[in-house]
Structure formats: C-alpha cells, structure tokens
C-alpha cells in the first residue's frame, strides 16, 4: 500500500511540475537520490532546481516550478541555508529573497564534505574518544574497546588526510583525483627508490 501511495505521489509531482522535460528528469532524480542520502526529497528537488537555474529564484518561483506548498519551500530553503549550500541574493526594488547555488561545483563539493564531516564524523570521533578513556570492566569490554580504538584510529587518520586535502587549490585537487590508480604506481616507485637507497649504503667500518 505504501509503495502504491509513493508511486501516486511521484506521478502527481510529474504532472504539477512546471519544468522542461530535461530539467524535470534531473530534479526528480535528485530528489530520489536525496532521500537515499538522508535528506528530504523536497530539499533535494529544490537544490537541483536552483543548481540548473540560470537566474536566482525566489520562493514563489520554486512553488510555481515544483508545485509544492510555500511552507514546504520555506522549510527546505532554511535547511539548505543551514548546510551553507545556497546563496541568498537580492534584486533592486524587490524585497523578496532570491536563492542560487555557487557556480563552482568544487566549492559545492567542499561545502558538502565539510558539513557532513561536522554532522557525522566529528560527533562519532567525540563519542569514541569518551569511550576509549573509560576503564573496561570486563574482558568483553576490553575487546570492544580495542576494536573501537582501531575504528577511532582509522577515522582520525582519514580526518587528518581530509584536512590536508581540503587545503589544496582546486586545480591540484582535480589533478589528484584524476590520477586514480596512478597513485599506486607512484607509491611503488617510491618504495623501489627507498629500497635501492638502502641497498647502496656502505658497510660500517669496524
């Protein structure tokens, strides 16, 4: 029954949306993916609409385009603002707030990564640190604490890597991502150089 209602809702959204077919397909898909990422479907749709819009949109524009209520649009825009994913702009002689997304997709990626780190990674690290500071009362707790210590170490290492990477200029970051498997080859070459260097060390004189 729930799936049937969901299908009816999707069909209704398709009918009421006042968008070109190409844009509508993107907006609908982004809404579906957003729900899988843990955000409201409407939030995902609004962000997709703002992303492909050539001009900033006000709340009324979004209501007309997506066929959703004004209150739903307002709540969704507040959530996007909390994530620092939308920009608010104003037009001369117009008291309404207009919204857009950054033109730079890399800036969007950096912002999304930073906000998810604050909401998901940092709280997990804090909880793990508190647990690891406690004295285990049994062998079971000792084993569990050891496993959590391994998790904490990995997450902290990834966090340090992220902090280093986010300082990179966009061009360098794009180059790093484009390397792909070539990074492994560079590391292997580095290991060979180190091995050769060790093999050429002169023997200690007695």
pLDDT confidence tier of residue 73, bands split at 50, 70 and 90: very high
From 79, 100, 121, give the residue that closes a domain. 100
88, containing H or E segment: strand 87-91
Q: List, for residues 82-101, the tens digit of each pLDDT value.
A: 999 999 999 898 899 999 99
Tell me how far CA of residue 55 lies from CA of 50, 62, 102, 151, in angstroms: 8, 12, 12, 45
| Same structural domain, 31 and 83 | yes
Q: What residue has token string 């930073």?
A: 114
pLDDT of 136 higher than 80: yes
* Cα 171 to Cα 70: distance, rounded to the nearest angstrom: 40
Average pLDDT over residues 167-193: 75
Average pLDDT over residues 162-172: 88
pTM score, two decimals? Answer: 0.72
Which of 199, 175, 200, 170 is CA-nearest to residue 186?
175
Q: List, for residues 24-70, the tens digit of each pLDDT value.
A: 999 999 999 887 877 889 999 999 999 999 999 999 999 999 999 99
| Same structural domain, 84 and 38 | yes
pLDDT of 18 higher than 60: yes
* Cα 9 to Cα 31: distance, rounded to the nearest angstrom: 13
Residues 6+ apart with CB under 8 A from 174: 106
| Same structural domain, 109 and 193 | yes
Task: Give the chain's domain count.
Answer: 2
Which of 26, 16, 68 is CA-nearest to residue 47?
26
Domain membership flag for residue 44: yes
* Cα 26 to Cα 30: distance, rounded to the nearest angstrom: 6
From 100, 127, 142, give the residue that closes a domain. 100
From 49, 81, 100, give the residue that closes a domain. 100
Could you give the 3-state DSSP secondary structure of residue 49?
Answer: helix
* Phi and psi, residue 89, nearest 5°: -130, 160
pLDDT confidence tier of residue 177, bands split at 50, 70 and 90: confident
Q: What residue has token string 């524009």?
A: 61
| Same structural domain, 84 and 112 | no
Domain membership flag for residue 206: no
Domain of 85 in residue numbering reads as: 2-100
| Same structural domain, 128 and 174 | yes
């Amino acid at each position: 029954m729930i799936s049937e209602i969901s299908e009816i809702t999707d069909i209704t959204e398709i009918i009421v949306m006042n968008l070109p077919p190409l844009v509508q397909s993107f907006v609908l898909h982004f809404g579906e993916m957003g729900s899988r990422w843990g955000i409201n479907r409407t939030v995902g749709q609004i962000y997709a609409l703002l992303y492909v819009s050539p001009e900033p949109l006000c709340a009324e524009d979004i209501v007309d385009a997506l066929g959703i209520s004004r209150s739903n649009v307002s709540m969704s825009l507040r959530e996007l603002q909390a994530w620092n994913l939308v920009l608010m702009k104003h037009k001369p002689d117009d008291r309404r707030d207009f919204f857009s997304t950054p033109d730079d997709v890399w800036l969007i990626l950096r912002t999304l990564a930073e906000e998810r780190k604050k909401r998901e990674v940092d709280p997990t690290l804090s909880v793990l640190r508190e647990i690891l500071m406690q004295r285990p009362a049994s062998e079971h707790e000792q084993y569990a604490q050891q496993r959590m210590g391994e998790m904490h170490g990995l997450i902290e290492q990834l966090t340090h890597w992220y902090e280093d990477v986010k300082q990179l200029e966009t061009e360098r970051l794009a180059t790093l991502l484009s390397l792909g498997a070539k990074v492994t080859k560079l590391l292997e070459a580095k290991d060979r150089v180190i091995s050769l260097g060790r093999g050429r060390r002169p023997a200690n004189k007695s």
